[in-house]
Structure 1
C-alpha cells in the first residue's frame, strides 16, 4: 500500500535519493527544500518550500499543503559547522539550533494531527555526534543531542496515538555534508569507505516499512571500515 511521506532537505544528497526511491515504488512524496528551484528534477507530488532557519515561517507553509493524513515524516535536513567552542560564532550557534532543533520541533508539532490520523511514523536522522561530541563539533553535537531528546519525549507522548518514532544514527555515509565536514577538518575522504546514499535510503525505507506491531526506536549504522577523520596538518 502506498504511503504519503514528507522528506525534508529533499533537494540534494540523501533527501533527494530518498525522494527518488520512494517515488519509484509508488509512494506520494512531499518534498521540502528552501527554494522551489532546489526541487527541480526531484520527483514529488507536493512541495513544502520553507527556510528552516526561520521556523516561524513553517505554520503558513504547512497550512498551504492541506495535508490531512501523513504516514511518515523524515527529518533529513540539517546544517553543520566545524569550529571549537572557543571560536564558534553566535550566528552559527543560532542557525544550527534553528535548523536542526527548533524547526524540527515546530514542523513535527504542525504535522502531528495528520500523523495521528494515519498512525504515522516520525524518523529523525541523527548522527554519531548525537551520542558523543567530538572536538570542533560542539554546536552540531549539541543540536543532535537535543534532537535525541525531542525524539525520546515525542515517543513517550505519542505512543497512545499510535505514532512510531525512530532515531537513526548513520555514520560515515557519502553525502555533501560528510565531504564538507572533512574539508573543514582538512581530512582525507574516501567514498569507498563510506556507506552509499542508496544504502542509507534503503535502511530508512526498511524502518518505515516495519510491521505495524513493531517499531525501531533507535538504530546505529556505519560502514565496515570507516576512514577516521584526521587532519592532514
Structure 2
C-alpha cells in the first residue's frame, strides 16, 4: 500500500474486540480499515496485533471512558469511519435476584459506555460522515424473564441507537443496530451453564455471520442506512424438537 493510500484508509474503532465476535468482526473490517481494537484480554490482543492494519489497545473501558475522559489513543483521531460497540456484560438475574450493583454493572457497560464513547468520538465521526453500529441482542425487544437486567439494558441500547440516528441524520452520520440471536460465544456459554443447559455449539450462530451482517450495513449505498438487522439461527431454539 502506498503512503497516500495509507493516509486515506478508513478508520474503525471496535470495543469488545477480545470477545466472542471481536476477532471475526476485525478480520472483516481490516480489509478496508485501519482498526483500533479495544479489549481486556492480553493474549487475544496480541493475536489481533499480529493482523496487519490492527492497532490493539488494552483498555478497562469503563474506567477509560467514564472516569478518565476517553481512550488516549483515540483522542487524536481526525476521522472515524466506523464505530462498533461490541463490549457487553450478560448475567442471568431476575428482578428478585438482582442487586443495585448488578443493575449498575449492566447499564454502565451496555448503555452508558457506548453512549459516552460515541459522544467523545462524534467530531471524528461527523468529519468522516461515519457509521455507528451497536451490537444489540434478540433480548433488545420482547420479554426474557430471568434475564431481566440484561434485557432492560438492551432495550435501553435500542432506544439510544434510534434516538441518536435522528439526532445525527442532518450531519450525515449513520446509526445502525445489529441484533444477533444466540451466537457461539463465551458469553452465551456462561449464560447456558448458569442455567444448567447443555451447550450445543451446532445450534448457535457462528460469529463470522455477525461480521457479515456488519459488512452489509457498512456497504449500504450513500442514499440509505440500514437501521436494524436481526440475525437469527436457522432453527429457533424453542422450535427444536
- Is the pair's TM-score, using the shorter chain for normalization, greater than 0.5? yes
> Contact between 1:73 and 1:123, CA under 8 Å: does it hold in 2?
yes
What is the TM-score with the length of structure 2 in the denominator? Answer: 0.87
| C-alpha contact 2:11 2:80 (8 A) present in aligned 1 | yes
1:7 and 2:14 matched: yes
5 Å-filtered alignment, 1:212-227, equals: 212-227=222-237
Q: How does 1:97-176 map to 2 (within 5 A)?
A: 97-176=107-186
| 1:34 has 2:40 as partner | yes
Moved over 4 A (4+): 35-38, 62-65
Aligned to 2:86: 76
User: Higher mean Cα deviation, 72-81 or 40-49?
Assistant: 40-49
More moved, 30-39 vs 165-174: 30-39
After superposition, what is the alpha-carbon deviation per residue over 1:28-56, rounded to whole angstroms, capped at 9, x for unaligned?
A: 10101136554111135434433233342
d(CA) in 1 for partners of 2:187, 2:198? 14
Structure 2 gap segments, 5+ residues each: 1-7
Please say if residues 126 and 144 of structure 1, whose CA atoms lie closer than 8 Å, have aligned partners that are also in contact.
Answer: yes
Distance 1:31 1:57, change over 3 A: farther
Deviations 1:43-78 (A, max 9, x none): 354344332333423524246541110001001110
Whole-Å separation in 2 of the counterparts to 1:67 and 1:229:
47
Point out where structure 1 has 5 or more consecutive residues left out of the alignment: none
Instruction: Evaluate the alpha carbon distance shift between residue 64 and residue 214 of structure 1 in structure 2; reply closer, same or farther with a 3 A threshold.
Output: closer
TM-score (norm 1): 0.90
CA separation in 2, counterparts of 1:137 and 1:65?
36
Cα distance, 1:225 vs. partner? 0.8
Summarize the Cα distance change of 1:155–1:15 in structure 2 as closer, same or farther, 3 Å threshold: same
C-alpha distance in 2 between matches for 1:60 and 1:142: 25
Structure 1 residue 59 corresponds to structure 2 residue 69 = yes
Determine if the alignment matches structure 1 residue 91 to structure 2 residue 110. no
RMSD (CA atoms): 2.1
Aligned to 2:105, what secondary structure does the other structure show? helix
Alignment of 1:50 with 2:59, yes or no, is yes
